[in-house]
Each structure stands twice: as structure tokens, then as C-alpha cells.
Structure 1
Amino acid sequence: MDTSFSLVYELIINYRDSVNVFWAFYIINLILSAVAYKLGFAKQLPVLKSVFVYILLAIGTLILNFFSLVGYPITDSLLVICAVLGIYRFRLHRQRKPNKR
């Protein structure tokens, strides 16, 4: 099977050399995972607990990275998650704005 389900996978594989594909996927997945966590699930934590959460997020991203390298649409899904959570947070902010006045 030569095709994958991921558009980002096809883009990175076609335009990057094979040595940096792992790190390219890891950085992209780590950034998108951190944004999704911050938009949807983050609460105000002390600094040490927050650092611990982000370290565990970086370790968990390794597992997602292996699925991305196989060709599953993990990066595409993270893009959609970030977009939906961003729209949700924007609408929530706009809804709460008139109530404060």
C-alpha cells in the first residue's frame, strides 16, 4: 500500500530527506499537542507541576510520533483538534465579554 491517510505525512515525506523526518514529525506533534492541551485542558498549576505535565506530554508525543511515521493521520487530527478548540475558546471569549460589562 503506497498511499497513507495523512496529508501532512505525504507533504513531509515528499519534501524532506529521510534523516530529519522523525524530528520534523516530533516537533510538529509536540507543538500541536501542547497547543491542544493549553486550549482545552490546562488549568492554573504551580510551575513545578506544569513543568512535569509538559515533560510527560513530550514523552507521550513520542508514541504519537511513531504512529505518524507509519502514516496514520495523527498530525492531521491534531490540526483539527487545535482548530476546533481555538474556535471554541474564541466563541467562549466573545460570549463572556458582554456579560462582564
Structure 2
Amino acid sequence: MDITERLTFFAALFKVNENPKLGMWLLYITIILLCVVVYKLGFARKLPMLKNVVIYAFLALGCTILTFFAVFLPIAEGLVVAALILIIYKIRLHQEKKQQSQGNEV
């Protein structure tokens, strides 16, 4: 069995098997960005600056572990799906609030 058959989409996209150093860094950055988007859309609250720094530092630390899993498991792909679901939820929530505010004005 060839290892390239077992790579996930993002690992194959970044060619982790051909250039592991650059590929893993790109995968790590992708996972961090996707985690930040999912966190901001689903879980973020207004916090003081220092607490935000601590949260994002631990988020980056956790993404280090996720990056190693993401070579053969669909971690980044799952984060993309989670981000899309949360984006759809936020759009629908915004539309519903807009309709309610228009209904109250009439």
C-alpha cells in the first residue's frame, strides 16, 4: 500500500509526503486558521485581552497535536464542515433577527 493513498485531502494538497517540513507547516497554519474561525463563530465571547491571548495560545498548542493526526485523519476537513455549519447558522440567525425587528416595527 502506498502512503499517498492514505493521506487526507489537505495533507495531499500540501504534499506532506514529498516536502514534509513545508507541508506540515502549511497544514498546521490551515488547522489553526480553521480552529480560530470555528472558535469565533461558535464559542467566542467578549473577554479581556489577556484572557484572549491565553485562549489562543492554548488553541495553537492544541492545534499542534491535531496537525499530527490530520495527516491520516480528516481533522481539517471536519473543521471545514464545522465552519460551514456555523456560518449557515449565523446567517440564518441574522435573518431571523432581521425579520423579527421588521415585524415589531410594523
Q: TM-score range by the shorter chain?
A: 0.7 to 0.9
RMSD, aligned α-carbons: 1.9
- Long gaps (5+) in structure 1: none
Partner of 2:9: 7
Aligned residue-pair number: 100
Greater CA radius of gyration, 1 or 2? 2
1:98 aligns with 2:103: no
Partner of 1:41: 43
Task: Output the TM-score relative to the length of structure 2.
Answer: 0.84
Partner of 1:27: 29
Higher RCO, 1 or 2 (CA under 8 Å, sep at least 6)? 1
Partner of 2:19: 17
Q: SS state of the match for residue 15, structure 2?
A: helix
State the 1:40 CA deviation: 0.4
Counterpart AA for 1:59:
L
Task: Output the TM-score relative to the length of structure 1.
Answer: 0.88
- Long gaps (5+) in structure 2: none
